[in-house]
A = this chain, B = another copy of it.
Amino acid sequence: MVGGGKDAFIGAVHRIAARIDGEYDLVAGALSSTPERSRDSGVALGLDPDRCYGSFEEMAGAEAARPDGIEAVAIVTPNHVHGPAAAAFLRRGIHVICDKPLTATMAQAAELEAAIRASDALFILTHNYTGYPMIRQARAMIAAGDLGRIRIVQVEYAQDWLTEAAEATGTNKQAEWRTDPERSGAGGSIGDIGTHAHNLACFVTGLTVESLSADLHSFVPGRRVDDNAHILLRLNNGARGMLWCSQVAPGNENGLRLRVYGEKGGLEWGQEDPNYLWYTPFGEPKRLLTRKGAGAGDAANAVSRTPGGHPEGYLEGFANIYTGAARAIRAAQASQRAPDLDLLPGLEEGLAGMRFIDACIRSSRDDAAWVTP
Contact = CB atoms under 8 A, between A and B. Distances in A.
Nearest to A13: B306
A282 B314 contact: no
Interface stretch (A94-102, A114-122, A251-259): A251-259
Contacts of A145: none
A313 interface: yes
How many copies are assembled?
4
A229 to B, nearest CB: 9
A251 B266 contact: yes
A311 B309 contact: no
Contact of A232 (B160, B213, B254, B281): B213
A310 B311 contact: no
Contacts of A222: none
A273 interface: yes
A294 B261 CA distance: 17
Contacts of A13: 305-306
Nearest to A264: B250
Interface in A149-185: 151-152, 154, 156, 159-161, 163-164
A21 B315 CA distance: 12
A56 interface: no
A213 B368 contact: yes
A298 to B, nearest CB: 16
A289 B284 CA distance: 9
Interface string A333-373: 00000000000000000000000000000000001101000
Contacts of A290: 253, 285-286
Nearest to A281: B250
Interface stretch (A29-37, A72-80, A84-92, A238-246): A238-246
Contacts of A16: 20-21, 305
A249 B266 contact: yes
A237 B169 CA distance: 27
24 contacts: A16-B21, A19-B20, A20-B20, A151-B219, A152-B219, A213-B215, A230-B232, A250-B261, A251-B261, A251-B266, A251-B278, A251-B279, A253-B307, A254-B307, A254-B310, A272-B309, A285-B294, A286-B287, A287-B287, A306-B314, A306-B315, A311-B314, A315-B315, A315-B316
The 6 closest A-B CB pairs, nearest first, are A253-B309, A254-B309, A251-B280, A311-B313, A285-B295, A251-B266
Interface of A: 9, 12-13, 15-16, 19-22, 46, 151-152, 154, 156, 159-161, 163-164, 213, 215, 217, 219, 228, 230, 232, 234, 240-242, 244, 246, 248-255, 259, 261-266, 268, 271-275, 278-290, 293-295, 305-316, 367-368, 370
Given A254-B307, A310-B315, 11 more contacts: A13-B306, A152-B246, A161-B307, A242-B244, A248-B261, A250-B265, A251-B261, A253-B308, A274-B311, A285-B288, A285-B293
